[in-house]
A and B are shown apart, each in its own frame.
Chain A
Amino acid sequence: MRKNKVLITFLLIITMLLAACTEGTNVDGNSSSSSDSSSDATSQGPLVIGFEADATTLLANHDVNYTTDTLIRNIYDPLIDRDSQTAEFAPVLAEEWKNIDEKTWYLKLKEGVKFHNGADFNANAVKFSIDYILDESNGSFYRSRWANVEEVVVLSDYEVEIHTSVPFPSLIQRIAEDLLIMEPGYVEEVGIEKASSEPVGTGAYTFVEWSRDNHLKLKAFEDYWQGKPGIEEVEFRIIPEFSARMSAFMSGEIYLFKNIPVDSVKQFESNEVKQISSSRINYLALSNLVDGPLKDVKVRQAINHAINGNELLETVLSGYGSRITGPLSQLNSDYAETKEYDYAPDLAVKLIEEAGYSPEELTLTLDTPSGRYPMDSHIAQAIASQLQSIGINVEVRVNEWGQHLEKIQKRETGDMFILGWGPAFDAQSTIENLFTLDAPYSSFYQENIEKKIKETNQLFDQEARYAGYAKLQQQLVEQAAWVPLWQQADLYAVKSSLNFSPRVDEKMNVFEMSWN
Chain B
Amino acid sequence: MLDFIIKRLIQVVIVVFLALTAVFFLIRLSGDPTTLFLPPDAPREQIEEYRELLGFNRPLYVQYTDFMKGAIQGDFGESLRSGDDALGLVLERMPATFQLAFSALLLSIIIAIPLGVLSAYKRNTLFDKASVGITVIGQAIPSFWFGLILIFIFAAQLKLFPSSGGGSVNHMVLPVITLALYSVSRFVRFTRSAMLDVLNKDYIRTTKAAGTPTSTLIMKYALKNSLIPILTLIALDLGVLLGGAVITEAVFSWPGVGRLLHQSLMNRDFPIVLAGVFIIAIIYAVINFITDILYAYVNPQIRVK
Contact = CB atoms under 8 A, between A and B. Distances in A.
Contact of B42 (A38, A40, A144): A144
Contacts of A432: 41
A143 B46 contact: yes
A28 interface: yes
A144 B41 contact: yes
A241 B253 contact: yes
Nearest to B298: A6
B18 interface: no
B166 interface: yes
Given A37-B170, A247-B163, A441-B40, A214 B82 contact: no
B228 A429 contact: no
A21 B36 contact: no
Interface string A232-248: 00000111110111111
A244 B161 CA distance: 13
Interface stretch (A10-18, A302-310, A488-496, A502-510): A10-18
A23 B98 CA distance: 10
B252 A244 contact: yes
A363 B39 CA distance: 33
Interface stretch (A96-104, A329-337, A398-406, A478-486): A398-406
A27 B98 CA distance: 12
A251 B263 contact: no
Interface string A28-66: 111110011110100000000000010011000001100
Given A37-B159, A213-B260, A403-B30, A18 B102 contact: yes
B168 A10 contact: no
Interface in B219-264: 224, 227-228, 231, 235, 250-253, 255, 259-260, 263
Interface in B21-39: 30-32, 35-39
B152 interface: yes
A211 interface: yes
Contacts of B84: 193
Contact of B38 (A24, A35, A64, A215): A64
Interface residues of A, number: 75
A57 B99 contact: no
A244 B253 contact: yes
A267 to B, nearest CB: 10
Q: Which of A20, A25, A212, A438 has the most C-beta atoms of chain B within 10 angstroms of its own C-beta?
A: A25
A26 B255 contact: yes
A17 B234 CA distance: 14
Contacts of A244: 148, 151, 163-164, 251-253
A438 B164 CA distance: 44
Interface in A193-237: 193, 196, 211-215, 237
A70 to B, nearest CB: 15
A23 B95 CA distance: 8
B38 A402 contact: no
A212 B93 CA distance: 9
A141 interface: yes
B255 A433 contact: no
A384 to B, nearest CB: 25
Nearest to B252: A244
Interface string B57-94: 00000000000000000000001011110000100110
A7 interface: yes
A13 B290 contact: yes
Contact of B35 (A6, A53, A405): A405
A139 B93 CA distance: 26
A145 B294 contact: no
A213 B42 contact: no
Contacts of B167: 27-32, 35
Q: Dominant SS at the B interface?
A: helix
A250 interface: yes
Q: Sort chain B's interface into a size bin.
A: 35 or more
B250 A35 contact: no
B165 interface: yes
Interface centre among A6, A211, A251, A441 (most CB of B within 10 A): A251
Nearest to A238: B253
Given A141-B38, A402-B268, A38 B251 contact: no
A237 to B, nearest CB: 6
B201 interface: no
A429 B41 CA distance: 8
A139 B102 contact: no
B110 interface: no
A31 B255 contact: no
A253 B160 CA distance: 12
A405 B297 contact: no
A56 B164 contact: no
Given A64-B38, A213-B255, A26 B165 contact: no
B162 interface: yes
Given A37-B170, A141-B38, A244-B252, A27 B96 contact: yes
Contact of B96 (A26, A147, A193): A26
A264 interface: no
Given A29-B168, A31-B170, A144-B41, A63 B253 contact: no
Given A7-B231, A32-B167, A239-B253, A251 B156 contact: yes
Contacts of B209: none
B255 A145 contact: no
Nearest to A28: B167
B46 A144 contact: yes
Interface in B180-201: none
B266 interface: yes
Given A37-B170, A141-B39, A6 B297 contact: yes
Interface in B77-136: 79, 81-84, 89, 92-93, 95-96, 98-99, 102, 106
A239 B155 CA distance: 14
A30 B170 CA distance: 10
B44 interface: yes
Nearest to B225: A3
A238 B250 CA distance: 11
B43 interface: yes
A409 interface: yes
A22 interface: yes
Nearest to A58: B82
Contact of A247 (B32, B92, B155): B155
Nearest to B166: A27
Contacts of B40: 405, 421, 433, 441
15 contacts: A3-B224, A7-B231, A10-B231, A17-B102, A18-B102, A20-B98, A31-B168, A36-B162, A37-B155, A37-B159, A37-B161, A38-B159, A212-B92, A244-B151, A251-B157
- Closest 7 pairs (CB-CB, A-B): A31-B168, A27-B166, A21-B98, A25-B95, A247-B156, A250-B156, A214-B255
Given A21-B102, A214-B253, A248-B155, 19 more contacts: A7-B227, A26-B96, A27-B167, A29-B167, A30-B168, A31-B167, A37-B162, A56-B79, A139-B53, A141-B38, A212-B89, A239-B165, A244-B164, A245-B164, A247-B155, A248-B156, A248-B162, A403-B30, A409-B35
